[in-house]
Amino acid sequence: MKIGFIGTGVMGTGMIANLLKAGNQVQVYNRTKAHAQKVLDLGAKWYDTPALAMQNCEVVMSIVGYPKDVEQIYFGKDGLLSGAVAGQYLIDMTTSRPALDQKIAAAAPAGVHILDAPVSGGDLGAKNGTLTIMVGGQKADCEYLTPLFKQIGQDVNWFGPAGSGQHAKMANQIMIAGTMTGMCEMLAYAKAAGLDLATVIKTVGGGAAANWSLDNYAPRILKNDFTPGFFAKHFLKDLRIALDEAARMKLELPATKEAARLYEILVDEKQLGNDGTQALIKLWWD
């Protein structure tokens, strides 16, 4: 399949590598060309705008940083909607606002299929092709694209019309907020009590407190490895979206609100937004 791909960051790079490995041709655009060099070296082809990168492609995927970036690549000059033609599938895999994906679906030219399909699994999931993919849009479109999704992920679920994939991702991020704060407080407590942290991680991970954050991020923390599998600034963006959506639904999420407050300290006050989400431990250890 010929695929257009917009966004060659941490997540996009791993996803493109797996699409190429599966035998697809991939045409890419990224705001900074130098950040696309890894996938260009693997065989992806560079184009200077989103509209050019999608030419002659049946499927176009995008995964960028913020809702404003999604708005730009879809609605901006030389954006995806300006180049879309009937029969193409446009898949926004950025974690973004549900209303924005609904806006994209409403603005799409006739015959263009629009899906929101945010992912979970971090840099390792993108690299290993084990992402969880949460899909909003037409169910038939999701079913048609599932074989393609399975080239980059292992679990694909359809949740409903446009924006529903984003709502599912918000539920996912709410859960992660709890596991990240729990992991950091657990490590802070164990360190203060004088326990061997590697043994604590192994023990806790073998019981009822086991979770993905503990398995994947606690070992990085012990190595002082704060490279981003997922940027702290992007996680804060996600938590803010989740809280905005909750407020719209008149739903109180006090634990998520506290997690957002802690990440605001990390990102806005300490200016550590380009660290991975595991850098939250620095609020205790620094």
Instruction: Report the catalytic residues.
Output: 169
How far from the centroid of its chain's Cα atoms is residue 138's Cα?
21
What are the residue ranges of helices labelled H in the chain?
10-21, 37-42, 50-53, 67-75, 80-83, 98-107, 122-128, 139-149, 164-192, 197-205, 212-222, 232-248, 254-264, 282-285
Which residues, at least 6 apart from 78, have a Cβ–Cβ distance to it below 8 Å? 49, 50, 51, 52
Distance in Å from the first CA to the final CA of the chain = 49
Say whether 128 sits in a helix, a strand or coil.
helix
